[in-house]
Structures are given as structure tokens and as C-alpha cells.
């Protein structure tokens, strides 16, 4: 008899069952080994290796500069840490748009070199050919509609999307297209709550929201934001579960003081 506790791994099928059973899905971003280990231990269902790494890890203003090689580096660090969670990896800007062959090559690199479980692409009808080609290779795809940060220069702002009827209708059509193509789940970012609820009701695949209200099948946040590491980002949809910026600052300042005063290391902290 094995003394190891069986871990029920989260798969795309488990997520589908969760939707059917009305169980909410939890998802958070992770970009490195140590954080991913804690996320997995906490029991998060999905870890997103988001291209938000471009902002929170690398300090870029947008998600556009991050490269496929950099995403593979982050994803492989996360994959080494996890036991249970499903890992979704963002295909970065420029690695899939307008060229389905390149999209497939990028997705295969994520799966082969990083050991990813699935990929996420931003957009609807305009990227359908890429979605279909990746799916045809047996790679699970998560869609992403609403505010799609890789298109920030087209939108011009990060404000709420699909407030007008025409854009809302287009979003619903795109969501249906992605489901029909075979996507296993969909992210909706920064749209009115009533629209999020409509999409979640009309689709059979799980719909996960970030700023899309409470009527969807699950929620995702950027871990650094919900931990309060970045205290300059305060959108309405963000709930902060800690203020790590202040707590880390205090810890670093205490260390610096102890080094300067000679208090660290003390007798029991040396050989």
C-alpha cells in the first residue's frame, strides 16, 4: 500500500465537470518555481503563466515585449513546481497572430520545451485559424476575450470593454466560435457583469472572469496584484488579500538596519 496521498490532478475534463457541478474554478498567475509551489500547495485549480510577466516580472509597460523564449523560461520554472494544478501558458504577442503555422510552432514549443499543459490566445474570429490549427495537434486551448491587453494600441485604453450592444454581441459570437472550435475554457476580462453571466450561461465550457462579475464559472487574478506587491495598481475588480509591498519593505529595512548595526549575524547565526 502506498503511503503517498493520491493527488487528483486538474485536467480540462475536471474543469468541465466543475462547471457541470456548479463548482467555482480558482485561477491565479505564476511565473516562477517558488511562487508556483505555494500556489499549488494552496490548491489553486489553474496556474496561468501569463504574459503579464512582461509587466510584473520584467517591468515593461505593456505585455507586448515579452518573447516566446521568455515565456518558455517562466513556464518551465512553474511546471517543475506543480503537482496538482493545470498550467495554462500565454502565447505572447507576435507568436500566433496572422500566421497559423507559426501559431502551431509556438504552441508546440510551449508543450515540448516547457512541458506546458495548454496554451491561451487572445482574440476571437480573427485568430480562429490559429486556434483550429493548434487544436488539431491535440493541444488544449483557452480563449481570452473582452479586454485583450496584447491589443492595447488598438483600444488605446484599459477601460471596460463591450459596454455597447454591438461590441457585446460580437463578444458573444466570438465566445461561441471559440467553444465550437473546441477551446476547453474561456477568459473574459473587464466586461460588464451581466454580459459575463450571459456568456457563462450560453457556453458549456468554463468561463473564467477577471473583472467580469460573479456570474461566471471561476475567477482569475494576477498573483502579484492580489498579494499587494504592486501597490500602484488598484482597479475596481481587484481584491487585495495582503499588503506584501509594505510587509516586504519593512522586512528589507529591518535586515539593512541589522547589517548596519552589526546585530546580524548574532552568535547563533555563525559557525
Per CB under 6 A, 52 contacts ligand KIV: yes
For 206, the grid coordinates are 468554463
Burial of 246 per CB tally in 10 Å (0-12, 13-18, 19+): exposed
- With respect to ligand KIV, which residue has the nearer C-beta, 90 or 174? 90
- With respect to ligand KIV, which residue has the nearer C-beta, 6 or 232? 232
Residue 167 falls in the annotated catalytic set: no
Write out the DSSP string of 83-97: SS-EEEEEPPTTSST
3-state helix, strand, coil in the chain (%, to 5): 45, 15, 40
Task: Select from 40, 45, 90, 225 the one that contacts ligand KIV (CB under 6 A).
Answer: 90
Which residue of the set 189, 202, 232, 269 is catalytic? Answer: 189
Of 49-57, 154-162, 194-202, 242-250, which part binds ligand KIV (CB under 6 A)? 49-57
- With respect to ligand KIV, which residue has the nearer C-beta, 48 or 82? 48
- Give how far Cα 96 sits from Cα of 2, 12, 40, 77, 116, Å: 44, 22, 29, 23, 17
For 228, the grid coordinates are 499587494
For 184, the grid coordinates are 476547453
Residues 200-229 that bind ligand KIV (CB under 6 A): 210, 220, 222
Per CB under 6 A, 25 contacts ligand KIV: no
Cα 190 to its chain centre, rounded Å, is 14
Encoded one letter per residue, x for contact with ligand KIV by CB under 6 A and - for no contact, window 159-198 reads ----------------------------x-x---------
By annotation, the residues acting in catalysis are 189
List residues near ligand KIV by CB under 6 A. Answer: 29, 48, 50-52, 90, 187, 189, 210, 220, 222
Amino acid at each position: 500500500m502506498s503511503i503517498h496521498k493520491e493527488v487528483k490532478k486538474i485536467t480540462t475534463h475536471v474543469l468541465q465537470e466543475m462547471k457541470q457541478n456548479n463548482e467555482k474554478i480558482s485561477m491565479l498567475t505564476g511565473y516562477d518555481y517558488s511562487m508556483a509551489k505555494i500556489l499549488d500547495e494552496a490548491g489553486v485549480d489553474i496556474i496561468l503563466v501569463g504574459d503579464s510577466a512582461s509587466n510584473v516580472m520584467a517591468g515593461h509597460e505593456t505585455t507586448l515585449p515579452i518573447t516566446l523564449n521568455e515565456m518558455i523560461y517562466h513556464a518551465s520554472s512553474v511546471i517543475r513546481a506543480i503537482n496538482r494544478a493545470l498550467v495554462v501558458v500565454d502565447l505572447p504577442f507576435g507568436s500566433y497572430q496572422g500566421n497559423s503555422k507559426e501559431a502551431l510552432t509556438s504552441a508546440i514549443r510551449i508543450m515540448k520545451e516547457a512541458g506546458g499543459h495548454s496554451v491561451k490566445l487572445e482574440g476571437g474570429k480573427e485568430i480562429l485559424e490559429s486556434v483550429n490549427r493548434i487544436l488539431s495537434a491535440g493541444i488544449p486551448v483557452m480563449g481570452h476575450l473582452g479586454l485583450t491587453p496584447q491589443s492595447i494600441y488598438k483600444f488605446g485604453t484599459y477601460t471596460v470593454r463591450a459596454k455597447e450592444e454591438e461590441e457585446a454581441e460580437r463578444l458573444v459570437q466570438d465566445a461561441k466560435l471559440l467553444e465550437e472550435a473546441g477551446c476547453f475554457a474561456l477568459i473574459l476580462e473587464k466586461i460588464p457583469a451581466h454580459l459575463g453571466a450571459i456568456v457563462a450561461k450560453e457556453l458549456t465550457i468554463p468561463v473564467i472572469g477577471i473583472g467580469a462579475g460573479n456570474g461566471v464559472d471561476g475567477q482569475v487574478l494576477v498573483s502579484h496584484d492580489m498579494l499587494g506587491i504592486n501597490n500602484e495598481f488598484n482597479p475596481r475588480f481587484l481584491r487585495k488579500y495582503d499588503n506584501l509591498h509594505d510587509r516586504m519593505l519593512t522586512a528589507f529595512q529591518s535586515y539593512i538596519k541589522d547589517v548596519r548595526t552589526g546585530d546580524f549575524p548574532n552568535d547563533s547565526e555563525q559557525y
